[in-house]
Amino acid sequence: MSADALPSSPPIDLLVIGGGINGAGIARDAAGRGFSVALVERGDLAGATSSASSKLVHGGLRYLEQFEFRLVAEALAERETLLRMAPHLVWPARFIMPHVPWLRPRWMIRAGLFLYDHLGGHHADALLPGSASVRLDRPPYDAGLQARYRHGFIYSDCRTDDARLVIANARDAQRLGARILPRTELVAARRVDGFWQARFGNGETLRARAIANVAGPWVKDVLNQRLGVPSTDSVRLVRGSHLVLPRLYAGEHAFILQNDDRRVVFMIPWEGRFTLLGTTDVVETGDPLHPQATAEEAAYLCAAAGRYLRQAPRPQDAVWRYAGVRPLYDDGSGDPSAITRDYTLRLDGDGQAPVLSVFGGKLTTYRRLAEQVVDKLAATLGARRPAWTEASTLPGGAMPASGLDDFVRREIAPRYPWLAEAQRDALARRHGSELPDLLGAARGPDDLGEDFGGGLCERELEWMLAREWAHSADDILWRRSKCGLHMTPEQRERVGRWLGE
């Protein structure tokens, strides 16, 4: 039996079903409180929704129009918490909203931004600056915009590497004693003698005192079919599609664009050479495991950007398209954009062998969601240690308060002066304060093994295989890194051959 094989006895405290951001966060929180934990995921960690987001840690400015004040306040508070927990994976960004008088009056936007600045407890030591009015016909914010947009607003939010945030939580959960088991599908589980008896596709079984059902788009299927627990709760599957285009404008600021249908579309500088354009809100009727960005969605996104840019992007210019399915709690809304982004926790079995199912949720609020899930389950499992993650640090986040750039300048650049700046900065963004552990005593590029191109070297690939549960070229090129964007097809194929695919 391998080191990660499922234990058959004695029973564990908590089985987590689902290896997205919420599942990884729950496993980490529970393991840190002293519970024995196993997390199972039928595919790769972050293999679905949690690697297909808009790459933002944000309060959700547009949710204020839907009076989701509690959700926005929680998300804004979590935004600053995550900045402190993982400064290499979550970093500040300034967002520009061009003013379009016929869509939203100036007073409405000012009032919304005032709330946005203060709902999360904005104070003197806040990590992010507040909002302000800006001129868009002057540098630096005039780059690429049509001349008719002269006035706008600037505010703060954060960008993130969503898939690596999942990996960081899973790695810390493992450090704390949790078993992390990707490519392990739950076949069925039933309550037997006060425990869950679970069976998996690889033939293994285990017993657990409780289950956290965090299967995302498949949460109801797991609850009803795999666990045999009836429920009237439902999810609405809403697809969000994105385009990655060659850089559309100069500058590191992002844009939030008001659309004629009163939705918003983001334009975000990404991976140095590209702009990320998204997202849509379309009911998903196909396979949520393999959602596809449609031609209609690509046209919608390009048209939205084209209303603001001097040169409108074209769908055929996209170098990559991706789509994710949001598993939103079905609140009865007929408009996909109006369905709440808040989460709902459903507990079945207050006595022995409870199962807690998570419906909905946002990337930004995953830590708080995990804390609440473990709080609820601890009532049955027996409290051992108090909640702890708010003041914690994720792997790679142990760096000075001055941040990642200063860490790179003071500690990485002098130690590895031969490392090309672009590769150095990309490695630091992926691995943070663990980068010296990865690079070790390397004295030159040759010590890093084969250079696959796109900023990926053999040393990092081996790290991902050994420490991050990577298995395939897709795992490495599109989730644990975005090196695939910077590679030729031949270079990507070389990675696959190295892995023996």
Task: Give 98's contacts (C-beta < 8 A, 6+ positions apart).
Answer: 136, 145, 149, 151, 152, 255, 257, 258, 308
**Cα(343)–Cα(295) distance, rounded to whole angstroms?**
31
- Could you tell me which residues come within 8 angstroms of residue 316 by beta carbon, excluding any fewer than 6 positions away? none
Q: Say if 138 falls within a structural domain.
A: yes
For residues 127 and 241, membership in a common domain is answered with: yes
Do 425 and 408 have their domain in common? Answer: yes
Same domain, 149 and 252: yes
For residue range 448-485, list pLDDT tens digits in order.
999 999 999 999 999 999 999 999 999 999 999 999 99
What is the sign, positive or negative, of the torsion defined by CA atoms of 360, 361, 362, 363? negative
Number of independent structural domains in the chain? 3
pLDDT tens-digit map of 435-449: 999 999 999 999 999
pLDDT for the residue numbered 307: 97
Residue predicted with more confidence, 384 or 134: 134
What is the distance, to the nearest Å, from the Cα of residue 38 to the centroid of all Cα atoms in its chain? 21
Indicate if the pLDDT at residue 128 is higher than 70. Answer: yes
Amino acid residing at 226: R
Query: Considering the chain, what percentage of its residues have pLDDT values greater than 90?
Result: 86
User: At 449, which CATH number?
Assistant: 1.10.8.870
On the 0-12 / 13-18 / 19+ scale of CB atoms within 10 A, 369 is buried
Mean pLDDT score, 81-90: 97
100, part of any domain: yes
- Whether residues 228 and 241 share a domain: the answer is no
Q: What are phi and psi of 489, to 5 degrees?
A: -55, -35
Residue 7 lies in a domain: no
Angle (CA) 273-275-278 rounded to 5° is 155
Q: What is the mean pLDDT of the segment spanning 415-427? A: 97
| 245 occurs within a structural domain | yes
Tell me the mean pLDDT in the region 415-430.
97
What is the spatial distance between Cα 45 and Cα 470, in angstroms, rounded to a whole number? 9
Average pLDDT, stretch 69-79?
Answer: 94
**Do 136 and 84 lie in a common domain?**
yes
Q: Average the pLDDT over 380-393 and give the result.
A: 94
State whether 353 and 447 are in the same domain. no
In a domain, 244, yes or no: yes
The answer to whether 337 and 68 have CB atoms below 8 angstroms apart is no
d(CA 292, CA 134): 37
494 inside domain: yes
418 occurs within a structural domain: yes
pLDDT of residue 1: 44
Q: Are residues 140 and 121 in the same domain?
A: yes
In this model, does residue 19 exceed pLDDT 90? Answer: yes
d(CA 394, CA 171): 9
Tokens of 193: 């003698």
Q: Which of 339, 215, 233 is nearest to 288 (CA)?
A: 215
pLDDT at 8 over 60: no
413 within 8 A of 405, measured Cβ to Cβ: no
Asked whether the predicted pLDDT for residue 122 surpasses 80, the reply is no
Share of the chain above pLDDT 70, in %: 97
82 and 149 fall within a common domain: yes
- Residue 192: half-sphere exposure toward Cβ, Cα within 13 Å: 12
- The domain of 469 spans 404-498
Given this model, what pLDDT does residue 365 score? 97
By three-state DSSP, how is residue 75 classified? Answer: helix
Phi, psi of 150 (to 5 degrees): -105, -25
CATH number at 35 reads 3.50.50.60
Per-residue model confidence as pLDDT tens digits over 317-376: 999 999 999 999 987 776 777 777 889 999 998 678 999 999 999 999 999 999 999 999
Distance of alpha carbon 77 from alpha carbon 59, whole angstroms: 8
Over 50: is that where the pLDDT of 3 sits? no
379 and 316 in a single domain? The answer is: no
179 close to 2: Cβ distance less than 8 angstroms: no
Residue 397 maps to a domain: no
Identify whether residues 151 and 172 lie together within a single domain. Answer: no
What does pLDDT average to over the chain?
94
pTM (2 decimals)? Answer: 0.96
Report the C-alpha gap between 24 and 7 in whole angstroms. Answer: 19
* Angstrom distance (rounded) from CA 160 to CA 55: 5
